[in-house]
Amino acid sequence: MARVFGVGKALRIYFLGKRHPQQRDLIERPYGRFHYLPVALAAAGHDVRVMLCSHRALPAIEHDADGVHWSSRDVRTIGPLRLLDELTRQARAFRPDWVVGMSDAHYGWLAHRLSRRCEARLAIDAYDNYEAYMPWNVPLHWLWRRALGAADLVTAAGPQLAELLQSHRRRGRPVEVLPMAADPEFRPRDKQECRAGLGLPQDAPLLGYVGSWTKSRGTHLIVDAFERVRAAQPEARLVLSGRPPGEVLHLPGVIGLGYLPDAQLPLLVSSLDVACIVTADTAFGKFSYPAKLCEAMACKVPVVASATAAVRWMLDDRAGHLARLDDPADFAERALALLATPVAEYGDRPGWDAIGTRLNAMLG
């Protein structure tokens, strides 16, 4: 990652978030905005510490990596009251200029609590509509909104989410946009070499979906769309990673790879003729900015994506890549068009170094 040069004085910045966002362990498998934004600020000359919290009965961890001091505490190991005391003690000892909450609503209100105890400025970063995670948890939503209202800086992964968060702020600066980006290992690669490395067919048209299977993402559409693609091109295959429903894996033309090591995920994306990005017009989906879309674009792979407002913004309204919501026939039609005439030009997109520079300027 390119070095980010500092703006203004060196600051002490204390990040607070969960250790396993999106089922990835940030200590063992660092990735995404949770890793690269703190690293970028450290590269700019700031003193950056990250506290990660878990609930899996894990031991405490302290280590330094990429210019950042990383800590981890587990609520099941030490209990909620001791965890709160430990966070407060550590933050007060550090004396941060900024406390930054990330990952989900819990860490927004925790960051708010710590910032008041440390007399630090408060920043909150959101990449999803966190209230959609647990719609029944009204007390948490209230604490989250209170934190948003009190924050000196709020950043969001896209303008639609920024507008939603702004509705909970009655003072202060407007919500700023810090978009999602692909991690550096996602880059254009030789398709045939990637297929060979994963044991995938060399000559078959390959569609692929990498992600979770949930109603909030509308993933039921993939199967219907693929069946329509195969009716037109019987040689087509659908490549899936992770843990899709068992009945899907037994459908004709489906190739299940299971969970792949992190190092092989860029190879899978670069193996595809068309990457499928599916979400839905739900409280979650309409404010979702899929990292998998960023990764496919970074690999210069043609994509077909559900046309939520957030995804349209990410794709700059490129019609050839956008399928009508919950319309498998239109999704299949777009996929077939891209198989016939591949298009994967997405313009210049900022990486984590540029996005980190932007955040650095906001905190300065």
Q: How far apart are CA 97 and CA 118, in angstroms?
A: 9
Matching fold, domains 12-181+351-363 and 191-340: yes
Q: Per-residue confidence of the chain (364 residues) as pLDDT tens digits? A: 333 334 468 999 999 999 999 889 999 999 999 999 999 999 999 999 999 999 999 999 999 999 999 999 999 999 999 999 999 999 999 999 999 999 999 999 999 999 999 999 999 999 999 999 899 999 999 999 999 999 999 999 999 999 999 999 977 789 999 999 999 999 999 999 999 999 999 999 999 999 888 766 778 899 999 999 999 999 999 999 999 999 999 999 999 999 999 999 999 999 999 999 999 999 999 999 999 999 999 999 999 999 999 999 999 999 999 999 999 999 999 999 999 999 999 999 999 999 999 999 999 8
Residue 45 DSSP label:
T
Q: What is the pLDDT of residue 5?
A: 39
Q: How far apart are CA 217 and CA 22, in angstroms?
A: 14
Q: What is the pLDDT of residue 8?
A: 64
Q: How far apart are CA 18 and CA 220, in angstroms?
A: 29
In CATH, the architecture of 12-181+351-363 is 3-Layer(aba) Sandwich (3.40)
pTM of the model: 0.94
Q: What is the pLDDT of residue 3?
A: 35
150: Cβ contacts below 8 Å, ≥ 6 apart: 112, 122
Q: What is the pLDDT of residue 23?
A: 85
Domain 191-340 is in which class? alpha beta
The residue count for the chain: 364
Nearest CA to 148 among 127, 126, 177?
A: 126
At residue 178's C-alpha, the angle toward residues 115 and 286, to 5°, is 105
At 290, list the tokens. Answer: 């899929």
- Cα first-last separation, the chain: 21
Residue 256 DSSP label:
E
> Is the dihedral angle over the CA atoms 353, 355, 361, 364 positive or is it negative?
negative
The domain segmentation of the chain, as residue ranges, is 12-181+351-363, 191-340
